Chains A and B, each alone.
Chain A
């Protein structure tokens, strides 16, 4: 009995030690990420003085993500119209399909799905690029040339992500509405005028559209910063970069979903 207690206590102690070590690592990483965030803001002047650096990154993160965003938005809009019509017709309000598609996209799906796709497409690319720059000593070379990598590499990518995300989310919502229209009006036969007029009457600029843009801005800051930090913090090995890329997708996705709940709560209450 004594031996069982001793073994049990030893195992509990080992588990607690492991848990504590993991928590300390996470807190340390949170601190390091916050430090990188403030340094990025501090050294952001260069990104605007030499805007071509930021513009180049907007091309890689924003423009190159357009295809996946537009195709996904189109299908999401079409599915929304199909599902929405299926439910609404039971209550005899199938004309409200336009409002349902628009509100779902502008308030939630536009910012959230765009952020998730952005994390998978642009976020991973940012992490892998910076991780490899670290592995191949390109960041050290920059440091040794008296060029600050945060000002030259991190800040332009950060602002590119922050600028790109709301534009991509807006495009997502627009294309999604178009996809919903194509399914609802020509395919199902909902009245064209009812589709647009109900949408016009019920979608509010401040409560719906502006709030959606605010969400996508916050997601842009979070997703880009996570991708940059993971790349910057990646151990300089192939395995390290691979793990960092995976972490970017996992942490960004969970952060976006968590932040979405928090932001929605505030927006509905206020």
Chain B
């Protein structure tokens, strides 16, 4: 995969990048877009080391023009949720929903969706944008600053595994579960 022009970040990846100390560098090298839910609700601080909380103010980065904030409308979110595989709808996170709304509306082939959220990666298949999810591991390799020992949700294999699960959802035509949210014993 070639180097993406635009990065769409989810909370898990932002926190990991902050912890690695690469946020400023990535913002300088790429056009970074962050969903409003992540900006205002989720990525508020990071524990750099135990007991050392570093506040994150992405709204400040937005105001400074370092990153771009995207805000989805309820209609756009509804659209994404309706297409979200029914079998995993109860796993959808508001920030990921908003990111996928952006991908649907504005994504291009050079937009990379930086995510560590398995269900969101699965949903990209149903939303016909399964080429966009990218692991942090892959981005760091492409950007020339590879890191070892990344957590499992930040790895290339994690993205591949969940993309395959998304394909399975589509192939199996998993119908909306009439007992959604009810107890299903394995």
A binds B: no
Binding site for A on B (CB under 8 A): none
Which residues of A approach B to under 8 Å, CB–CB? none
